[in-house]
Structure formats: structure tokens, C-alpha cells
């Protein structure tokens, strides 16, 4: 049986393609009903009986347990802030873009629930600067929600106050890293901070701060509606619930698909994505966004379940939920070069191994992908990579403050793991021709 | 250029929203680009005054972000993605063709950008931050020409919606 989507977070936007982002469309499909109930509960009950019980883990990349993250906030330390990471920039991830543009009220309801649960009265949405329509829709939604009493002072008569500021970024991938995001929100260059202190202790303006991803927070109304335990029954092992996977590349039907965690890559690609174009086969795929190591089209890889932990056996992660698919018409070295170019461009320059290393990786991969590779290039890349991520393991170690540098090494490790012979053979042929 | 009286009022409102005024640097830089089409030294000086930091600090921040243009750009900023999905679906060819076609057109600035988070619409581009997807070079040029002829209404070069005669 082919699998189908399990639409929870994407339900409204799929059911109401013409008005899901309007207050009328949202209210007609139950928006803010759960908020009303949530405000009658205690913050502790929401944290423990709902979010913790649901097993919800962050949908932004790291997959950290949301309730645990909240629990790190020091007690009785106020003000504290909730910051929504809406700086979606991980290559080939396009789920938050959709959620913001097409269901902003779901996000706002989630923000209100999360803010009430962590007892914060001022929340920020750090929105990717390029999301112009998303900005329009989100700010309009905030105005509508405030007019109807879902935001602002004394929300729905509960005595709880919440304001939300939408803060546009300005084109810097690194600001998706939570401490760089906080720097940027404070008007600085987006350079990551050394931890500790962690944001939960000293985040925005050195106050206790929770940073959560758009999809994570958009899931909260559904967890409360279904009940945390019920939600936790969806999914597999410690990967509970559904996730939106952004399927792209050489498949027949690229798009965002919300599935119960635990379905396989093959089911996602074939049943939902319509398989590889022109009847082709998967040569390699990049799960989790550009930062992850790669997988191949082997049965072992294709049949691996989308389980945040199980995929670790192959050194990859589900990360931000992207799945990029390539067939044998694509040169993996070219893809690796373009990723390296991306990381070299987006390196903030704070840590030497990343600032210098990403540039060298890009240069070497450029010549390799343009017919000028040398026999020892691959080994040199591994050596450069080892300076950034000693041991070249997954999960990685790092000589840098943030994971951007090690992320740039993932493609190199993957080339070596799966395409070493192909690359060396190509260099040998090129050398023969030029001789 | 300096903020108009109206935008200066807007700027003060923005600064007042944040617990610390320095946080308003990015939004004010966007506002300056909405007004001028780029981010001038004068604008950064004024942002510094409004946020209580030095002009050098404003420049230090703004020079980090690719959306802030510290030299004038065309009225239409065409941003073409060539990242790893667009890479295999015609993004680089689209970029090349757009650069070629608008090379001598002062109203159009073509730039290569990183992933725009619209990979199911690859190859994609933005014109003043409005999305256009599943493009061929001809279709993309038609879109740009429609902006130029007024058939499509462009946002500001910082992506702010324009309503009536001015900024939304």
C-alpha cells in the first residue's frame, strides 16, 4: 500500500488553499480554540502533561526535546523571551516558508501557547529577510489577532499579556544558528556566541530566552488539541508525531509532505514524490539539509525509516527535514562544490578553521568539478576537513564555535565514503588525456 | 539620504518597540532602503543617532548582511538562486541569461543568491523579494519586463510592499 500524508500542521493550509492565512479562514477551521483552553491550564501542566508527554522534538535541525529546552529556564528570573527561529535558509528546506505564508495564525496560536507555558510576555519572530510576503501575512495576522483579543493585553480575559515583534533578517544563513540569531536581533553582526552561557540562562539582552523553530511551535496547538499522550503515539520510537519533509531535486512531484515519522525514504520519494524523473534511479540523496552527510540509492538507505535517531546509523541526520534527490545524470562533485561555495559564502568569519577552511574546500572542489582535479585532492580535502571537524565523524566534533564549519565537511566526507573510486578514476582518465 | 519626516517618525516608532534601541538597526536599514533604494552613509549616520550607537557600529552591522546594498542598485533587484536544487534544474543557466540580457539596463540588477526556500519551484528567482518559480530564461525575462512596464507592481528593493503611492 502506498503511504499517504498525515496532515496535522499542514491541514488548514491544504484544506483551505484560498484563505488559510486570513483570520476568517483560520477561525472557520478552529484557530485559537486551543488557546482558549490552554489559558485555563497552568504553565506547568502545559509543559509536563502536554508538551513533555508528546515527546515533541525541535523541527529546526538539532531535534532537541522542546519541553526539556523550556525546562532549562531558571525559575523566577524575569523578563524572559521567546524567540521564534523563522530564518529558514538551510538549502532545500522550504517548510517554514509555507507555514508562515499560508498559516500564520497557527504559528501565532502556537507562540501564544508557548509564551504562556514559559511565562513570557514579549515574543520575537526572527523572520528571514527574503520572506517578503511572509512578513506581510504574519504582521497582518498579528494585527487581526490583536483586534480579536488573541494577542495583546489580558488575552481572552485570562490576565495574560503577550506582544509579538516580527524582526526581519537581512540575508545571512548563519542567523539560523540560535546564538547568531540573538546577536542579530540585538543589532550586531550575526556571529555565534560561545556557550555556556546557554540562551536559556543568558540569551536575548542577557535574559533567559527560548529559541524555537516555526514548525515546532506550529505543532503546539495540535498537541494540546489531541492531548500530549495521544500525539506521542504518532511516529516511531523517540521520533514522535509528524514532520514536514521538503522533497526536492529530480523527483516527479517535489513539495512539502507531512508524514508520520517512521515512514521510509523510499516511501517519501516514490509514494508521495512520484519517484525519480524519467524513470531513473536515486544515485544519492541529501537528507536533513546541506549540513548532513549524504545517502545513496542503496536499498539499505532507501528503506531506512525517517526516524531522527535511526538515520544516525548511516552518519546522517533528519535536520531541517529537507530531502534532496539526485539521479545518475548529476555529478556528485558538482553538488559538493556548490554546497562548499554556499558554506564559504555564509561562514561568518569568527573562527579561523571555518573562515579559511570553507574557502579552501570550495576552491579545491571547484577544480575537481571542472575537470582539473588532481590525484591527491580528495585526501587534501579530508585533511582540511579534519582541521574543522577532527576525526571526521558523525555526530561531529568541532574546532569552531558553531556547527557551520563541520557542516561544510559533510559533503567531503560523503564524497570520500561513496564516490572515492569514481573520483579517482576520473582524475586518472583526465591525467591520461592531458598527457 | 536622510529620512523624510514621515520615515523619521516611523523610525522612532520602530526604535521604541524594542527593549534595547540597538535592535532597531536592521529594521531601520530596511526602512532606509525602502526610501532610497540603497543604504547610504548618510542613512547609516542617522540610524546611529536614532539607535544610540556610532555610525561605524551601524556600518559594522550592516556590512554583514547581503540584503543591505551599500552602493545604488537598479529599481528591480533580480535574485537568482543557484543552490543545489536549482543547480540541477537550470538555475545557473537562468542566472547567466539574466545577467546577459540586463547587462546594460540600469534599472535592473541581477544577483546570484543562495537557496530561497522554494525548491519545489526550482529554478526560482525573486524580483524585489517576490517569488517567481519554475522558470525558463524567457519566462523570467517576461516577468522582469512586466515589472518594468508597470504591469506588475514591485516591492521596494528591501522587499517592502508598496501600496498606492508609497510604502505600505
Inspect the interface and report whether the beta carbons of A187 and B120 lie closer than 8 Å: no
Phi, psi (5° rounding) for residue A417? Answer: -70, -40
- CA dist A396 and A315 (Å) reads 9
ipTM beyond 0.90? Answer: yes
Inspect the interface and report whether the beta carbons of B119 and A94 lie closer than 8 Å: yes
C-alpha cell at A336: 559538493
Do B53 and B18 belong together in one domain? yes
Give A172 to chain B, closest Cα distance, Å: 6
CATH of residue B84's domain is 3.40.30.10
B49 falls within a domain? yes
Question: Quick one: pLDDT at residue A235?
Answer: 97
Q: Tens digits of per-residue pLDDT, A227-242?
A: 999 999 999 999 999 9
Question: Quick one: pLDDT at residue A427?
Answer: 83
Share of chain A above pLDDT 90, in %: 96
- CA dist A333 and A370 (Å) reads 9
Question: Quick one: pLDDT at residue B167?
Answer: 57
- CA dist A33 and A26 (Å) reads 10
Q: Provide the pairing of β-strand A295-296 with A284-287.
A: antiparallel
Do B58 and B80 belong together in one domain? no
Inspect the interface and report whether the beta carbons of B120 and A255 lie closer than 8 Å: yes
Q: How far is CA B63 from CA A182, A348, A418, in A?
A: 17, 12, 39
B166 falls within a domain? no
Name the domain count of chain B: 2
Inspect the interface and report whether the beta carbons of B129 and A130 lie closer than 8 Å: yes
The answer to whether A123 and A163 have CB atoms below 8 angstroms apart is yes
Question: Quick one: pLDDT at residue B152?
Answer: 96
Q: Tens digits of per-residue pLDDT, A18-53?
A: 999 999 999 999 999 999 999 999 999 999 999 999
The answer to whether A131 and A97 have CB atoms below 8 angstroms apart is yes
Question: Quick one: pLDDT at residue B20?
Answer: 98
Tell me the β-bridge partners of A244.
Answer: A258
- CA dist A26 and A333 (Å) reads 46
CB contacts, 8 Å: A130 with chain B: 67, 79, 113, 116-117, 126, 129, 159
CB contacts, 8 Å: A135 with chain B: 159
Inspect the interface and report whether the beta carbons of B159 and A129 lie closer than 8 Å: yes
pLDDT band at A431 (very low <50, low <70, confident <90, very high): low
- In chain B, which residue's Cα lies nearest the Cα of A330? B88
Question: Quick one: pLDDT at residue A435?
Answer: 57
Q: Which of B78, B114, B121, B132 to mutate to test the interface with A (most CBs of A within 10 A)?
A: B114
* Under-50 pLDDT residues of chain B: none
Residue B98 half-sphere exposure toward CB, CA atoms < 13 A: 33
The answer to whether A137 and A21 have CB atoms below 8 angstroms apart is yes
Do B44 and B99 belong together in one domain? no
- In chain B, which residue's Cα lies nearest the Cα of A172? B65
Do B85 and B50 belong together in one domain? no
- In this predicted structure, the answer to whether residue A195 has a pLDDT above a threshold of 90 is yes
Phi, psi (5° rounding) for residue A271? Answer: -75, -40
Closest to A187 (Cβ–Cβ): which among B24, B79, B128?
B24
B100 falls within a domain? yes
Cβ within 8 Å of B, A 156-175? 165, 167-173
B136 falls within a domain? yes
CB contacts, 8 Å: A338 with chain B: 82-84, 87
Q: Which of A60, A78, A87, A91 to mutate to test the interface with B (most CBs of B within 10 A)?
A: A91
Question: Quick one: pLDDT at residue A428?
Answer: 81
Question: Quick one: pLDDT at residue B166?
Answer: 57
| A102 lies within 8 A of chain B by CB | no
B154 falls within a domain? no
- CA dist A107 and A212 (Å) reads 11
- CA dist A78 and B42 (Å) reads 38
Do B58 and B33 belong together in one domain? yes
Give A388 to chain B, closest Cα distance, Å: 23
The answer to whether A80 and A105 have CB atoms below 8 angstroms apart is no
Cβ within 8 Å of B, A 175-194? 184-190
Inspect the interface and report whether the beta carbons of B119 and A189 lie closer than 8 Å: no
Cβ within 8 Å of B, A 399-418? none
C-alpha cell at A388: 574543522
B165 falls within a domain? no
Do B100 and B45 belong together in one domain? no
CB contacts, 8 Å: B55 with chain A: none
B106 falls within a domain? yes
Residue A42 CB neighbours (<10 A): 11
Do B85 and B142 belong together in one domain? yes
Structural domain of residue B19, as residue ranges? 5-62
CB contacts, 8 Å: B18 with chain A: 165
CB contacts, 8 Å: A186 with chain B: 20, 22-23
Q: Tens digits of per-residue pLDDT, A253-307?
A: 999 999 999 999 999 999 999 999 999 999 999 999 999 999 999 999 999 999 9
Q: Which of A245, A248, A277 to mutate to test the interface with B (most CBs of B within 10 A)?
A: A248
Q: Tens digits of per-residue pLDDT, A134-193?
A: 999 999 999 999 999 999 999 999 999 999 999 999 999 999 999 999 999 999 999 999
Inspect the interface and report whether the beta carbons of A248 and B119 lie closer than 8 Å: yes
Q: DSSP letters along A16-62, please?
A: -TTTTTSHHHHHHTTTTHHHHHHTTS-HHHIIIIIIIHHT-B-SSSS
CATH of residue B48's domain is 1.10.10.1590
C-alpha cell at A24: 476568517
C-alpha cell at A33: 480554540
- CA dist A169 and A197 (Å) reads 24
| A205 lies within 8 A of chain B by CB | yes
Question: Quick one: pLDDT at residue B1?
Answer: 75
Computed over every residue of chain A, the mean pLDDT equals 96
Do B36 and B82 belong together in one domain? no
- CA dist A19 and A24 (Å) reads 8
- In chain A, which residue's Cα lies nearest the Cα of B57? A188
- In chain B, which residue's Cα lies nearest the Cα of A191? B64
- In this predicted structure, the answer to whether residue A432 has a pLDDT above a threshold of 70 is no
Cβ within 8 Å of B, A 14-43? none
Inspect the interface and report whether the beta carbons of A335 and B60 lie closer than 8 Å: no
Do B25 and B87 belong together in one domain? no
CB contacts, 8 Å: A339 with chain B: 84
The answer to whether A124 and A83 have CB atoms below 8 angstroms apart is yes
Closest to B114 (Cβ–Cβ): which among A79, A184, A342?
A342
Question: Which residue ranges form the domains of chain A, and what is each CATH number?
Answer: 11-233 (3.40.50.11540), 255-326 (3.10.20.600), 332-428 (1.20.1440.230)
Give A52 to chain B, closest Cα distance, Å: 30
- In this predicted structure, the answer to whether residue A117 has a pLDDT above a threshold of 60 is yes
Do B54 and B80 belong together in one domain? no
Q: Tens digits of per-residue pLDDT, A316-329?
A: 999 999 999 999 99
The answer to whether A100 and A137 have CB atoms below 8 angstroms apart is yes
Closest to A346 (Cβ–Cβ): which among B88, B114, B118?
B114
| A294 lies within 8 A of chain B by CB | no
Domain end (from B35, B62, B89): B62
Do B43 and B88 belong together in one domain? no
Do B50 and B108 belong together in one domain? no
Question: Quick one: pLDDT at residue B91?
Answer: 98
B67 falls within a domain? no
Q: DSSP letters along A54-83, please?
A: HT-B-SSSS--BHHHHHHTSPTT--S-EEE
Q: Tens digits of per-residue pLDDT, A66-82?
A: 999 999 999 999 999 99
Amino acid at each position: 500500500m502506498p503511504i499517504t500524508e498525515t496532515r496535522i500542521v499542514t491541514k488548514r493550509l491544504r484544506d483551505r488553499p484560498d484563505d488559510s492565512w486570513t483570520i476568517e479562514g483560520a477561525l472557520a477551521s478552529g484557530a485559537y480554540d486551543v488557546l482558549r483552553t490552554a489559558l485555563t491550564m497552568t504553565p506547568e501542566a502545559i509543559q509536563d502533561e502536554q508538551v513533555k508527554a508528546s515527546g515533541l522534538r525541535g523541527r529546526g535541525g538539532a531535534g532537541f526535546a522542546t519541553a526539556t529546552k523550556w525546562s532549562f529556564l531558571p525559575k523566577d528570573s524575569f523578563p524572559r523571551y521567546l524567540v521564534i527561529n523563522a530564518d529558514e535558509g538551510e538549502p532545500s528546506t522550504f517548510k517554514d516558508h509555507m507555514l508562515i505564508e499560508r498559516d500564520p495564525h497557527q504559528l501565532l496560536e502556537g507562540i501564544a501557547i508557548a509564551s504562556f507555558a514559559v511565562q513570557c510576555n514579549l515574543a520575537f519572530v526572527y523572520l528571514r529577510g527574503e520572506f517578503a510576503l511572509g512578513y506581510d501575512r504574519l504582521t497582518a495576522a498579528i494585527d487581526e489577532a490583536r483586534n480579536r483579543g488573541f494577542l495583546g493585553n489580558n488575552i481572552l480575559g485570562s490576565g495574560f499579556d503577550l506582544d509579538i515583534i516580527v524582526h526581519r533578517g537581512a540575508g545571512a544563513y548563519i542567523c539560523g544558528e540560535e546564538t547568531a540569531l540573538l546577536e542579530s536581533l540585538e543589532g550586531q553582526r550575526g556571529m555565534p556566541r560561545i556557550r555556556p552561557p546557554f540562551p536559556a540562562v543568558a540569551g536575548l539582552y542577557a535574559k533567559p530566552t527560548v529559541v524555537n523553530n516555526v514548525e515546532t511551535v506550529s505543532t503546539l496547538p495540535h498537541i494540546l488539541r489531541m492531548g500530549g499522550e495521544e500525539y506521542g503515539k504518532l511516529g516511531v520510537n523517540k521520533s514522535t508525531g509528524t514532520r514536514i519533509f521538503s522533497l526536492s531535486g529530480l523527483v516527479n512531484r517535489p513539495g512539502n509532505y507531512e508524514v508520520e515519522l517512521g515512514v521510509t525514504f523510499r516511501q517519501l520519494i516514490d509514494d508521495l514524490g512520484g519517484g525519480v524523473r524519467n524513470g531513473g534511479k536515486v544515485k544519492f540523496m541529501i537528507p536533513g539539509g546541506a549540513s548532513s552527510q549524504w545517502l545513496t540509492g542503496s536499498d539499505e538507505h532507501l528503506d531506512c525509516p525517517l526516524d531522527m535517531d535511526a538515520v544516525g546509523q548511516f552518519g546522517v541526520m533528519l535536520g531541517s527535514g529537507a530531502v534532496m534527490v539526485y539521479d545518475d545524470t548529476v555529478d556528485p562533485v558538482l553538488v559538493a562544490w556548490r554546497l562548499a561555495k554556499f558554506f564559504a559564502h555564509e561562514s561568518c568569519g569568527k573562527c579561523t578553521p571555518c573562515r579559511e577552511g570553507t574557502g579552501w574546500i570550495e576552491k579545491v572542489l571547484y577544480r575537481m568539478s571542472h575537470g582539473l582535479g588532481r590525484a591527491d585532492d580528495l585526501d587534501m580535502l579530508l585533511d582540511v576537513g579534519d582541521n574543522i571537524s577532527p576525526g571526521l565523524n558523525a555526530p561531529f566534533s568541532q574546532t569552531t564555535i558553531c556547527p557551520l564549519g563541520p557542516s561544510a565537511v559533510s559533503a567531503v566526507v560523503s564524497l570520500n565514503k561513496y564516490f572515492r573510486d569514481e573520483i579517482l578514476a576520473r582524475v586518472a582518465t583526465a591525467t591520461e588525456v592531458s598527457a | 539620504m536622510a529620512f523624510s519626516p514621515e520615515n523619521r517618525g516611523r523610525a522612532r516608532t520602530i526604535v521604541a518597540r524594542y527593549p534595547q534601541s540597538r535592535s532597531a538597526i536592521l529594521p531601520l536599514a530596511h526602512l532606509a532602503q525602502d526610501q532610497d533604494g540603497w543604504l547610504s552613509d548618510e542613512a547609516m549616520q542617522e540610524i546611529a543617532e536614532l539607535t544610540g550607537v556610532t555610525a561605524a557600529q551601524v556600518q559594522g552591522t550592516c556590512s554583514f548582511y547581503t540584503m543591505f546594498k551599500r552602493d545604488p542598485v537598479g529599481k528591480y533587484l533580480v535574485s537568482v538562486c543557484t543552490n543545489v536544487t536549482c543547480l540541477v534544474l537550470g538555475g545557473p543557466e537562468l542566472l547567466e541569461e539574466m545577467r546577459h540580457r540586463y547587462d546594460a539596463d540600469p534599472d535592473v540588477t541581477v544577483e546570484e543568491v543562495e537557496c530561497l526556500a522554494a525548491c519545489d519551484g526550482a529554478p526560482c528567482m525573486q524580483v524585489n523579494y517576490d517569488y517567481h518559480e519554475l522558470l525558463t530564461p524567457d519566462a523570467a525575462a517576461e516577468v522582469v519586463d512586466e515589472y518594468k512596464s508597470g504591469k506588475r507592481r514591485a516591492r521596494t528593493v528591501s522587499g517592502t510592499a508598496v501600496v498606492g503611492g508609497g510604502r505600505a
